A and B are shown apart, each in its own frame.
Chain A
């Protein structure tokens, strides 16, 4: 039986739906780009690699932003005890956001390149990696983000302001504000890159990670009944550690872009500290799950405390994935002495794939399952065959891609950098090697596995709520 959602949670389901569609688009265009590594003539002059890559990465960023907004709209009434203030504005902005994204993607696909003047910047693409949206869309994104932040703040101020909501209020204003740093050009490429990293790094390794901490806290209270005071204290520790290490950890992006040499020391020190909060977040899940289950067991009731198995599975993968993808694969090449060789190789790509998936995709998919549970009025939601296939294929596929890219990156480090001195010839020799080529083949195969997993995920999200084996 479907339960009646309040308006904020209804809006959240809209956000999650569009996020899932963009997630599919991200994977599809990732496959196109992966095929082009293996068969360079594939879709030549129809969708060139540069376009497939733009859509692959931008769709990734945007689906996550949609799912983040959806997560906040979902948890706000639960946390504050009131309906989201300004929900009508929220709904209007949702449609503005969707329309803008559809137009931007159509322009990427149908127009692709411009005359490389102001027209291109304003209407086709700004050309800045990862945030290529044209300037009109940039302005639109800022308007939508500010509207979202206003909804969050007004609701937080009027309703019960829990620790989770307070952290989200601070985090989201930084999230929206930092986007401004990527909206202007300077003639000096070093200065330009300096500010561009404020968006890329400070989003991903500071504000997004804090967001994950807040969502994990909410999920643990919701799914295993973890003690709020304990969970929120963890959250504050994580916030302190994440901002403490993550903000100046940005130094590891400043090693080779023409910034002063003191960034070597700053980057090395804070990058060495950056894995610590990720370990803390991993322990957070273990601690709260262990404590709550232990309390249940002590009562002599051997019943699982988890009331949403699919969501909790994704949350556990988040704890592991964040640690592995952002922590281990990041630490591999974060110190300047070794980054000199790994920078710009497939190592970066391996890290990017596992970190974005492990740290963000997992927990946002978990939130989608929480919304499905709430929407269908399910007391204890259990896995279906599709849930298990989806998580197995997606996790297996992404880990497989990561391993393949790591091997390819290792070849580039040895051949292109160490042996050939980062020369033009070295770049091509590195890519011509058998191990690199096979790495690209396996990346494509594992990408297909991931996409099949996504199809199961989409099917499951659409149908799991109707399954009869849940406790209602």
Chain B
């Protein structure tokens, strides 16, 4: 007979699959966000595609929210995830800005 105290109740059995899927999708959508953003900036995609980049960022955030909720992450980790998402929103802008400046300097 299994001692009930051994069973870990923190995550419900049915929640494991949504956790793994949402964490995978958070990364995949995040990849689409920066990928589309960069592709538009280097003119590999038309400008009208840019809103889709931000849509993917929103999907990334939502997936991370689902993942965090189902995992019952603590207050600190929840804050860390929010900071990570804000950082992730800003990151391509900052990096692209620096890239662009370097390109301009070297092409002038």
Contacts and interface: CB of A to CB of B under 8 A. Distances in A.
A423 interface: yes
Interface stretch (A75-83, A85-93, A413-421, A447-455): A413-421
A414 B11 CA distance: 11
B43 to A, nearest CB: 6
Contacts of A335: 71, 73, 77
A425 B28 CA distance: 36
B99 A234 contact: yes
A276 interface: yes
A287 B38 contact: yes
Contacts of A340: 8, 10
Interface residues of B, number: 45
B31 A291 contact: no
A291 B11 CA distance: 46
A227 interface: yes
A440 interface: no
A410 interface: yes
A283 B92 CA distance: 9
A237 B77 CA distance: 25
Interface stretch (A1-9, A118-126, A182-190, A325-333): A325-333
A79 to B, nearest CB: 19
A341 B11 contact: yes
Contact of A265 (B77, B81, B105): B77
Interface in B13-57: 13, 16-17, 19-20, 23-24, 26-28, 30-31, 34-35, 38-39, 42-44
A229 B27 contact: no
Contacts of A272: 77, 80-81, 84
A337 B10 contact: yes
A268 interface: yes
A283 B71 contact: no
A332 B42 CA distance: 31
Bin chain A's interface residue count: 35 or more
Interface string B92-104: 1001001100110
Interface string B1-15: 011001110110100
A435 interface: no
B16 A410 contact: yes
A233 interface: yes
B71 A294 contact: no
B106 A230 contact: yes
B87 A276 contact: yes
Nearest to A275: B27
A35 B91 CA distance: 45
Contact of A418 (B16, B81, B92): B16
Contact of A338 (B71, B81, B106): B71
A379 to B, nearest CB: 25
A275 B30 contact: yes
Contacts of B72: 337
Contacts of B76: 265, 268-269
Given A282-B31, A286-B38, A410-B16, A229 B2 contact: no
Nearest to B7: A421
Contacts of B3: 421
Contacts of B88: 276
A237 B97 CA distance: 13
A344 interface: no
A315 to B, nearest CB: 16
A286 B38 CA distance: 8
Contacts of B71: 335, 337-338
Interface in A415-437: 417-423, 425
A391 B95 CA distance: 31
Nearest to B81: A272
Interface of A: 227, 229-230, 233-234, 237, 265, 268-269, 272-273, 275-276, 279-280, 282-283, 286-287, 290-291, 294, 323, 327-328, 331-332, 335-338, 340-341, 410, 413-414, 417-423, 425
30 contacts: A227-B103, A229-B102, A230-B99, A237-B98, A265-B77, A268-B77, A268-B80, A272-B77, A272-B80, A272-B81, A272-B84, A287-B38, A287-B42, A290-B39, A290-B42, A290-B44, A294-B42, A327-B31, A328-B23, A328-B28, A331-B26, A335-B71, A337-B11, A337-B71, A410-B20, A414-B13, A414-B16, A418-B8, A421-B2, A422-B6
8 closest Cβ pairs, A-B complex: A421-B6, A290-B42, A337-B71, A328-B27, A269-B80, A268-B77, A421-B7, A272-B84
Given A265-B76, A419-B13, A423-B6, 17 more contacts: A233-B99, A233-B102, A265-B77, A265-B80, A269-B76, A272-B77, A279-B31, A280-B95, A283-B92, A286-B35, A286-B42, A286-B44, A328-B23, A328-B24, A337-B11, A418-B16, A423-B2
Interface of B: 2-3, 6-8, 10-11, 13, 16-17, 19-20, 23-24, 26-28, 30-31, 34-35, 38-39, 42-44, 71-73, 76-77, 80-81, 84, 87-88, 91-92, 95, 98-99, 102-103, 105-106
